[in-house]
Amino acid sequence: KGLSLKDKLDGNELDLSLCDLNEVPVRELAALPKATVLDLSCNNLISLPSDFCSLMHLVKLDLSKNRLQQLPLDFGRLVNLQHLDLLNNRLVTLPVSFAQLKNLKWLDLKDNPLDPVLAKVAGDCLDEKQCKQAAVKVLQHMKAIQSEQDRQRQQKLQAEREMEKKREAEQRAKEAQERELRKREKAEEKERRRREYDAQKAAKQEMEKKTKKETVHTRKPASSSRPPQPPRHKPSWSRSVLRVLLLVLFCSLCTLAACKLTELQHLPLCVSVNTLYEDVVAALQNHKTLQNMLQHNSQQ
């Protein structure tokens, strides 16, 4: 507990070794920023919580003789760390963020099932000089790994960008092709409708022309069926004779009327006309057929 941790604090050193710890009391440690030297050796720690990396005041850390299988991914946040003891754990690799421990000057990784490359870089750390060299070499190695990962990440991002650009270009090409296809289809549809319009117009004109021809053909027989009439400017001789007779008859009737009804009846000419008229009427009355007609008319 917090009170017991304060009791264990000796200056800037806090000794929590041999406490049979299964987990690190991070909250209580965070409340003791003066404890820059922390000893957690000889416990039962299997892992460190991620918030352990918030203890950025730590300068010296002893995690030896635990059962740690890995360190937190953001272990590199402990930027003030100068001395790190990881002796006799179960570590195989270190997190890439380990390269950010720029102040690290002492490192012990003995008795861990390290990756062969990392084990060769770390060395034996049998004395002070070797442990200092281990810190320098491991930091360089982790920086190289970080650079390679950054390079691979950049390559991946570049490949993704290029792939995205390629997809965008393909999408633009596809859209342009679709627009061209729609434009061509629209032009074809317009041309088809224009041809249909022209065909309908031509058919209509042909129908009107045919109807007009049929009308003309229908009218011609009707006009030809009429009986030919003689030209009016060439009257026949019978009409001329008839006109002359009608004129003579009209003149005779007018003369007779004048001689019968006017004071001219005493003139010698009218006397002769009246005498002729009476003789003609008397002659006609002696005719049997005419007498029958006159009787029939008188009866009506």
Question: How many Cα atoms sit within 13 Å of 264 on the Cβ side?
Answer: 14
31 and 141 assigned to the same domain: yes
Predicted confidence band at 289 (pLDDT cuts at 50, 70, 90)? low
Question: What pLDDT does 235 receive?
Answer: 55
Predicted confidence band at 54 (pLDDT cuts at 50, 70, 90)? very high
Does any domain span residue 38? yes
Question: Encoding tokens for residue 260?
Answer: 């019968």
- Per residue in 229-282, pLDDT (tens digit) is 655 555 567 778 888 888 878 877 777 777 767 766 677 777 777 787 777 777
CATH number of the domain within which 23 lies: 3.80.10.10
What average pLDDT does the structure give for the chain? 85
Question: What pLDDT does 2 receive?
Answer: 44
Question: What pLDDT does 272 receive?
Answer: 78
16 and 144 assigned to the same domain: yes
15 and 144 assigned to the same domain: yes
Mean pLDDT calculated for residue range 201-207: 88
Mean pLDDT calculated for residue range 191-212: 89
Question: Encoding tokens for residue 87?
Answer: 């002796």
Q: In 57-127, which residue ranges form alpha helices assigned H by DSSP? A: 116-122
Mean pLDDT calculated for residue range 32-53: 95
- Per residue in 80-133, pLDDT (tens digit) is 999 999 999 999 999 999 999 999 999 999 999 999 999 999 998 899 999 999
d(CA 133, CA 141): 12
On the question of pLDDT at 298 being above 80, the answer is no
Mean pLDDT calculated for residue range 130-152: 94
The CB-based long-range contact list for 280-284 (8 Å cut-off, 24+ gap) reads none
Q: Say if pTM beats, i.e. exceeds, 0.75.
A: no
Parent domain of 105: 5-148
Question: What pLDDT does 212 receive?
Answer: 83
On the question of pLDDT at 228 being above 50, the answer is yes
Question: What pLDDT does 5 receive?
Answer: 84
Which of 117, 148, 179 marks a domain boundary? 148
Question: What pLDDT does 268 receive?
Answer: 75
Does any domain span residue 198? no
Predicted confidence band at 1 (pLDDT cuts at 50, 70, 90)? very low
Which of 116, 148, 180 marks a domain boundary? 148
Question: What pLDDT does 282 receive?
Answer: 75
On the question of pLDDT at 136 being above 60, the answer is yes
The residue written with tokens 């029958």 in the block is: 292
Does any domain span residue 273? yes
Interior/surface letters 140-172, b for 16+ CB within 10 angstroms, e for the rest:
ebbeebbeeeeeeeeeeeeeeeeeeeeeeeeee
Higher pLDDT, 221 or 274: 274
Does any domain span residue 190? no
For strands 37-39 and 9-10, give the pairing: unpaired
Which of 120, 148, 176 marks a domain boundary? 148
Does any domain span residue 193? no
What domain count does the chain have? 2
Does any domain span residue 160? no
Does any domain span residue 291? yes
Does any domain span residue 181? no
140 and 247 assigned to the same domain: no
On the question of pLDDT at 227 being above 60, the answer is no
The residue written with tokens 């393909």 in the block is: 170
Question: What pLDDT does 215 receive?
Answer: 81
d(CA 140, CA 268): 176
Question: What pLDDT does 229 receive?
Answer: 60
144 and 274 assigned to the same domain: no
Question: What pLDDT does 295 receive?
Answer: 64
Question: Encoding tokens for residue 36?
Answer: 């820059």
- Per residue in 169-189, pLDDT (tens digit) is 999 999 999 999 999 999 999
